[in-house]
A and B are shown apart, each in its own frame.
Chain A
Amino acid sequence: MTENKKAILLSITLFVVFLIVGELITSTGERNKKNMTEYEQLMGMGETQAHVPGPIEVFKHALSELSDPFYDNGPNDKGIGIQLLYSIARVMAGYLLSVIIALPIGFLIGMSPVFYKALQPYIQILKPISPLAWMPLALFVIKDSVMSSVFVIFICSIWPMLINTAFGVMSVKKDFLNVAKTLEMSSLKTAFQIILPAALPTIFTGLRISMGISWLVIVAAEMLVGGTGIGYYVWNEWNNLDLASVVFSIIMIGFIGMFLDSLISRSSKYFNYQE
């Protein structure tokens, strides 16, 4: 058996074990709905206490949600697909904004040791600030909840890009720059034909980290600002005590995060090179 086959088999085994254990520890036994009062049935779907749903319950719920992901029954009842699209759109807006700003500035910082040293303390202070700490300020200044969450994505995703771009540009091998010099390349040509391709793998590492952070941040941001988005959805279902929906959306957040990450890592393959 090849290594890959072994890995797949182990993966599947782990999954099955997880399902069985999950089902066992969450099972609450059959309840007799007939003997309940109407009030009891209304409050807890026949259960006296809310419980963490088991895999089967979540799977059933997922099937029904995914069979109609884009329905819209008003502000508090939208399909998972619509909520995810809202979140993705916000992430993309904030992320692209930071790409537009971080790449050129990172490039300049990397080209100039003076800039690098001068901006380093600011970057180091701004970088560790929690995204949600920005939120009140953003809400007050921007006065719009959607734009505020986009801003929070922007302010959190910009630092890894900026630092990696600067670092990538700064650590371009001196030999490559010497090649450019001996070929009498202009600074612009050197920047685009030598420095940029040489730094691209490092830049992409930054893009990937930033994408991960953006997706982490949007859930928290939407929980705060509310209205739409997957973060709001999770919080809303928690308020409804619909834990099957909560677990289902947690899983969906994971899948979309993986998808966004693979989007970047796949495209980075075209720009990677080996020495």
Chain B
Amino acid sequence: MEEFLKVENISKSYPVRGENSFVTIYENINFTMNKGEFMCVIGHSGCGKSTILNNLAGLDIPSSGSIKMLGNEVHSPSLERGVIFQNHSILPWLTVFKNVTMAIKCKFKNMSTEDIASRATHFLKMVGLQDAMYKKPSELSGGMKQRVGIARAFAIEPTLLLMDEPFGALDALTRGKLQEKLIEICDKTKQTTFMITHDIDEAILLSDRILLMSDGPEAKIAEIVAVNIPKPRNRATIINDPAYYDIRNYLVDFLVNHSGKINENIKNGTLKEKDLPIAVDPHQLKFQLENNSIDL
């Protein structure tokens, strides 16, 4: 079977100013995604997460390697790949409603005005913005703006949804509410989603699998952790699942103790580059943690 998304050996390097050399941000990035899967990427700043997302979106072309979605090479932005940007990027001169209808018009070129309006209304209702439809973005709070971004992205029914730290700038309460909203919508639509986050709890709550990146430069995907907590999940009950803490501890341990040593370990031979990324089976996490307990 053909993979939904296949990322092969992509890398990104930039010329160093004033020197005749290149700095490699990331290299040998390999992973695949299945249809309907929710995937999160975690890694320290500077490992090139956002650039990888831009590669997937087609907004930025990797220096080498290939990205194929449903067999087609990704080389430019497309309506098949919706993006929710970190700073929401809704157009401040349009009302909330028009921000969404504009996107719908771009995707469904032959749709009637009434259908466009009802579709926009539907998706704005879905994110709970039915009362703010005719407001300008400047009248909205940060969380509401981000919800407009979510409505806009879902309204064009992208094959793949890309989210770059969508809740990064929000306070914890708003973030929690939006996460639940996102879970609800993704459950309904079976949306395939690739998301960047800094928030470990968010990653566990939302993901089927979590990509762990080593530190840049020359960052790599070190491990891929499957999250074996049954769906649908919610914030209140997920903490009762014993697997939750195993995964959480494991992720923290990786970010604190291991992410910076991957390249070193490859150099001294304790880690083979061709083995990366290591698929982590969540059922074995208990065992590993007992052997090297970490202080949180």
**Which residues of chain B are within 8 angstroms of A193 by Cβ–Cβ distance?**
102
Complex interface residues of chain A between 148 and 201 (CB less than 8 A to chain B): 173, 175-176, 178-179, 181-185, 193-194, 197-198, 200
Cα A182 to Cα B59 with chains together (Å): 8
How close is B146's CB to chain A, nearest CB, in angstroms?
13
Complex interface residues of chain B between 115 and 152 (CB less than 8 A to chain A): 136-138
**Which residues of chain A are within 8 angstroms of B87 by Cβ–Cβ distance?**
175
Check A184–B79 contact: CB distance below 8 A: yes
Given contacts A183-B103, A273-B138, A274-B138, whether A176 and B79 have CB atoms under 8 Å apart is no
Q: Out of B76, B92, B94, B107, which one reaches A183, CB within 8 Å?
A: B107
Given contacts A178-B83, A193-B102, A273-B138, whether A184 and B78 have CB atoms under 8 Å apart is yes
Residue of A nearest to B57 (CB): A182
**Which residues of chain B are within 8 angstroms of A197 by Cβ–Cβ distance?**
91, 93-94
Check B79–A179 contact: CB distance below 8 A: no
**Which residues of chain A are within 8 angstroms of B78 by Cβ–Cβ distance?**
182, 184
Check B92–A275 contact: CB distance below 8 A: yes
Extra pairs beyond A179-B85, A184-B106, A197-B91 (5, CB < 8 Å): A181-B59, A183-B103, A184-B78, A273-B92, A275-B138
Given contacts A273-B136, A274-B136, whether A181 and B91 have CB atoms under 8 Å apart is no
Q: Out of B81, B91, B107, B156, which one reaches A194, CB within 8 Å?
A: B91
Check A183–B93 contact: CB distance below 8 A: no
Cα A181 to Cα B103 with chains together (Å): 11
Cα A131 to Cα B14 with chains together (Å): 48
Judge if B34 is at the interface, Cβ distance under 8 Å: no
Complex interface residues of chain A between 5 and 25 (CB less than 8 A to chain B): none
Check B91–A176 contact: CB distance below 8 A: yes
A sample of 14 cross-chain residue pairs with beta-carbon separation below 8 angstroms, ordered by A number, consists of A175-B87, A176-B91, A178-B83, A179-B85, A179-B91, A182-B57, A182-B79, A182-B83, A183-B103, A183-B107, A184-B79, A198-B91, A200-B93, A273-B92
Residue of A nearest to B86 (CB): A175
Cα A197 to Cα B98 with chains together (Å): 14
**Which residues of chain B are within 8 angstroms of A274 by Cβ–Cβ distance?**
92, 136, 138
**Which residues of chain A are within 8 angstroms of B137 by Cβ–Cβ distance?**
275
Judged by DSSP, the binding face of A is helix
Residue of A nearest to B158 (CB): A182
Chain A 38-56 near chain B by CB (<8 Å), digits 1 or 0:
0000000000000000000
Check B77–A184 contact: CB distance below 8 A: yes
How close is B164's CB to chain A, nearest CB, in angstroms?
10
Residue of B nearest to A181 (CB): B77
Judge if B89 is at the interface, Cβ distance under 8 Å: yes
**Which residues of chain B are within 8 angstroms of A273 by Cβ–Cβ distance?**
92-93, 136, 138
Residue of A nearest to B91 (CB): A176
Chain B 241-269 near chain A by CB (<8 Å), digits 1 or 0:
00000000000000000000000000000
How close is B227's CB to chain A, nearest CB, in angstroms?
28
Judge if B82 is at the interface, Cβ distance under 8 Å: yes
Residue of B nearest to A194 (CB): B91
Check A175–B102 contact: CB distance below 8 A: no
Residue of B nearest to A193 (CB): B102
Check B93–A178 contact: CB distance below 8 A: no
Cα A183 to Cα B78 with chains together (Å): 7
Complex interface residues of chain A between 227 and 274 (CB less than 8 A to chain B): 271, 273-274
How close is B192's CB to chain A, nearest CB, in angstroms?
16
Residue of A nearest to B94 (CB): A197
Cα A273 to Cα B106 with chains together (Å): 23
Cα A25 to Cα B88 with chains together (Å): 63
A-B pairs with the 7 shortest C-beta distances? A274-B138, A273-B93, A175-B89, A183-B106, A181-B77, A273-B92, A197-B93
Cα A178 to Cα B85 with chains together (Å): 9
Q: Out of A176, A182, A200, A275, which one reaches B82, CB within 8 Å?
A: A182
Q: Out of B85, B94, B106, B156, which one reaches A175, CB within 8 Å?
A: B85
**Which residues of chain A are within 8 angstroms of B91 by Cβ–Cβ distance?**
176, 179, 194, 197-198
Residue among B76, B89, B156 with max Cβ neighbours from chain A (10 Å): B89
